[in-house]
């Protein structure tokens, strides 16, 4: 947990590492509302504010700007604004499909969707730059609790679903943070 910010005065670009964006209720329930990977943008430019909290999940390097400076710079560089708009629209789409997961999917479906998502995220770019082959084996940047906060479940349910998938031979769990996809079609079928 290297870097924290309540998003009021700063904006930043992620250079390296993974960060989570969370909101929580007074009584301590937490929901991860976004995950920032390298090259992702964090923060609310242009006078907007949000009640989200940013916390690094791994060692992370971020390029931080004072919001005022950034706003001025952005307004003078339409290409930057355009790029930011494209990224924000893409993020909005990802967020919306996550809403479907949170509102309508069952625990097994949530877990399967999550694992496929992670697998795609950590795929090799390999020879072909446009196509990214999904990873068969990868290391989660999340603890069980964080997976639960991402999927709107409890830690116990996450754990049970993981072991269920392991027992069924769909995935392997070499260590706590590592996941190996053994039967991708089965996982896709479960994802709903």
Partner DNA sequence: CGTATGTTTGATTCGCTTCAAGTTGCGTGG
Partner DNA sequence: CCACGCAACTTGAAGCGAATCAAACATACG
Q: Which residues bind DNA (CB under 7 A)?
A: 106-108, 143-145, 152-160, 162-163, 173, 175-177
Shortest approach of a copy of itself to residue 184 CB, angstroms?
18
Residue 114 binds which one of a copy of itself, DNA, none, with CB within 5 to 8 A depending on kind? none
Three-state secondary-structure class, residue 54:
strand
Shortest approach of a copy of itself to residue 70 CB, angstroms?
13
Shortest approach of DNA to residue 108 CB, angstroms?
6
Write the CB contacts of 167 (distance below 8 Å, at least 6 apart in sequence). none
Closest CA to 33 of 119, 158, 144, 149: 149
Shortest approach of a copy of itself to residue 100 CB, angstroms?
4
Residue 100 binds which one of a copy of itself, DNA, none, with CB within 5 to 8 A depending on kind? a copy of itself
Residue 78 binds which one of DNA, a copy of itself, none, with CB within 5 to 8 A depending on kind? a copy of itself
Residue 102 binds which one of DNA, a copy of itself, none, with CB within 5 to 8 A depending on kind? a copy of itself
Residue 85 half-sphere exposure toward CB, CA atoms < 13 A: 8
Q: Is 159 exposed, middle or buried (0-12, 13-18, 19+ CB in 10 A)?
A: middle
Judge contact between 17 and 60, C-beta under 8 A.
yes
């Amino acid at each position: 947990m290297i870097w924290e910010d309540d998003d009021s005065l700063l904006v930043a670009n992620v250079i390296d590492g993974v960060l989570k964006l969370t909101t929580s209720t007074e009584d301590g329930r937490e929901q991860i509302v976004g995950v920032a990977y390298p090259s992702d943008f964090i923060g609310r430019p242009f006078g907007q504010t949000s009640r989200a909290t940013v916390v690094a999940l791994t060692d992370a390097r971020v390029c931080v700007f004072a919001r005022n400076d950034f706003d001025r710079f952005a307004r003078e560089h339409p290409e930057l604004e355009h790029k930011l708009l494209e990224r924000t629209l893409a993020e909005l789409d990802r967020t919306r499909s996550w809403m479907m997961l949170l509102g309508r999917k069952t625990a097994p479906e949530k877990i399967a969707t999550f694992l496929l998502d992670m697998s795609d995220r950590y795929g090799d770019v390999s020879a072909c730059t446009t196509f990214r082959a999904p990873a068969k084996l990868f290391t989660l940047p999340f603890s069980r609790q964080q997976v639960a906060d991402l999927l709107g479940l409890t830690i116990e349910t996450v754990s049970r679903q993981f072991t269920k998938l392991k027992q069924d031979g769909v995935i392997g769990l070499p260590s706590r943070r590592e996941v190996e996809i053994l039967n991708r079609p089965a996982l896709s079928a479960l994802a709903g």
